[in-house]
Structure formats: structure tokens, C-alpha cells
Amino acid sequence: MTIRHHLPARLIRAYAAGSLPKSFATVVAAHISLCDECRAQLAAEEFAAGAVLDSLPPLYEPGDERLREALLARLDGAPHLPDEAPPAPMGIFPGPVVQALGGRPPRWRRLGGGIRQEILARDARGSVRLLHIPPGTAVPEHSHSGLELTLVLAGSFGDATGHYGAGDVEVADEGLAHAPVAGPGAPCICLAATDAPLRFRPLIPRLLQPLMRI
């Protein structure tokens, strides 16, 4: 797998800090599981964060046993989170996607034009979904009200910004209007996350948008 389109450093940094919404974190985790370069960047960010923490003053002064005991008591009372191995890949789906699917195959729903989707998670901060786009099919032209991350898991797509194959991630924001077209030969299966509704230009997709929840 040759990956040409990577995650921006700011997203890897936010992922390392745990500040990304769940929808974006799922896409970032899936890409990092496939990409040696971005995985190395994540390790560097985590190392830098650890160095900063090591440079901070201690939480309590030596000899302040009351504060120390209170801190240990809080730690003892915290819920224990068991160590779990990351889910194994399942076909074209990397571990983070398998986890989002609950270990089962996708349950596709038709959107029209042969395009299908399954919404994996949706809350006030955004949504993440799988999309299945037949070869040569164009997604209706749209712009963005916020950020959209699209990770290709199989097949490919292209738009004005370039060509995206398996493992590539496209980062689209308010400045991009596009109509991605699935490449020839095989369906484009991708993982897409948004933090705001898309802005479709054609009338029919705009009318159907509440049903599509995208």
C-alpha cells in the first residue's frame, strides 16, 4: 500500500492530546493503523507530550503527606479499565473501524445513485460513516460547513485536489467545493467524518439531506 496523502500534523497532535471528537478520532486512528509515517509522527507527539509532563513541578511537595494520601485515594477509587488488545483487521477494515462496527460486517443503506452508507456514530460534535460508491459514480457536488476527513479503505476516488487510493486521507474544509468521483474497476469504500452538515449544490440531494443525515 503506497500512501501519498497523510494527516496534517495538527490533527495528529490533537489526537495525541485526546482532544478530537470521536468521529474524527476514529478516522485518524484508522489511518494511523495503516500508515507508518503518521504512526511515527504520533509517537513523536506522544514523546514530546511526555517530556513536557516530566518538566512540570510535582503535584505535591515532599513531606506533604495529606495531599499525597488524598491523591492516592482518588486513584484507588477510579474505575479500572482492563487492558484490551486492539481489534484485529477484518478484510479491508482496520482495527478501529472493526471496533466501530462492533466486529460485524457493515449494514449498508441506500442513498441513491448506487451509493450506500452506514452511520457508525453520530452526536452533537459530528458523525462518522462508511460509504460504498460504485466505480465511476460521482458524489453530488458539495461544499463544507466545517471539516470533513475521508479515508479510502478500498478502491479510489478523485476530485479537483487529486487522486486518493487505499490508505490516503483527504482533509476538506470550508474552502473546498468538490464532486468526488469513484475510480474505475472497483467500488470506493471509505470512512468519512464531519463536524457539520455538507452543503449540497443540486436540489435533490438538498431535499434528501435530512434522510441521509449527512
Amino acid at site 93: F
Q: State the average pLDDT over residues 37-60.
A: 75
Q: What angle do CA 58, 60, 62 make, to 5 degrees?
A: 95
- On the question of pLDDT at 137 being above 70, the answer is yes
Looking at per-residue confidence, does 111 or 203 come out higher? 111
Alpha helical stretches, state H, the chain: 9-17, 22-34, 36-55, 65-77, 95-101, 203-212
Q: Which residue has the cell 517530556?
A: 51
User: How much is the average pLDDT of 123-147?
Assistant: 92
Is the confidence at residue 172, as pLDDT, over 70?
A: yes
Please determine, for residue 60, whether its predicted confidence score (pLDDT) is greater than 60.
Answer: no
Q: pLDDT (tens digit, 9 = 90+) per residue, 11-24? A: 999 999 999 999 99
- The residue to which cell 487510493 is assigned: 165
3-state secondary structure (DSSP) of residue 180: coil
- Domain borders along the chain are 1-81+92-214
Compute the average pLDDT of residues 92-117: 94
- The amino acid sitting at 193 is A
Give domain 1-81+92-214's CATH architecture. Sandwich (2.60)
Cell 487522486 belongs to 163
Q: Report the SS3 class of residue 7.
A: coil
Q: What pLDDT was estimated at residue 200?
A: 74
DSSP state string for 103-140 = TS----EEEETTEEEEEEEEETTEEEEEEEE-TTPBPP
